[in-house]
Copies of this chain bind each other. A is one copy, B any other.
């Protein structure tokens, strides 16, 4: 099985860290292939940069010519997940929704540690959109931005540990989701000191996709995730235009 890890950030070093975590998490016979956006932000840190990333992610999919069986959206806002799920016939999951699914399989309510005050509302909106709010116990913000934490992982570790403990003590959560692609892998250093599962979206996303691939559902033929009708989009990247003109072409 080949899972395509699609990074919505342009950072090559974050992509490598994400791939490394994905490989640590994957089953022995799962191959991780990866691509990243050819344009946009090093680290997406705003609602507007996310819009650019979403478009660039679809372009990256249109440009990616190797085979794959599933797509892991490796940006913690779960950017473009529903668009890709519609467009492709293979399973698609976002790293944060995957973490929330797993969190609700291991406990009653979960907390979220996330980087950057301005991102708190964005993550909450994502959780509401997925319908997980009844299971959300609380959120804690660390650091000023994902990029700042990425630049100083030792400091990030300290902050995450404090925030996770606060969620457990004050909100009584049974699991803690660690949001933010830039923080990938840090949960492995912090888990030993935390009394409940510390949940990373990449590891969860790989697991969920391995299951979905094996479940082998047909592509929907009705509803909002059916293959869209062929459309002539103008003035866009030719590979992207071809994807919209022949959306069935990507389907097996």
Contact = CB atoms under 8 A, between A and B. Distances in A.
29 contacts: A38-B235, A39-B235, A42-B232, A45-B228, A45-B229, A47-B82, A48-B244, A51-B83, A52-B58, A52-B240, A82-B108, A85-B106, A91-B106, A104-B130, A106-B217, A106-B225, A107-B220, A107-B225, A117-B223, A118-B222, A118-B226, A119-B224, A121-B224, A125-B129, A128-B128, A128-B129, A196-B225, A207-B210, A208-B211
A132 interface: yes
B129 A131 contact: no
Interface of A: 10, 25, 27, 38-42, 45-52, 54-55, 58, 80, 82-87, 91, 93, 97, 101-102, 104-109, 117-122, 124-125, 128-135, 141, 145, 168, 172-175, 191, 195-197, 199, 203-204, 207-208, 210-212, 214-215, 217-218, 220-226, 228-229, 231-236, 240, 244, 247
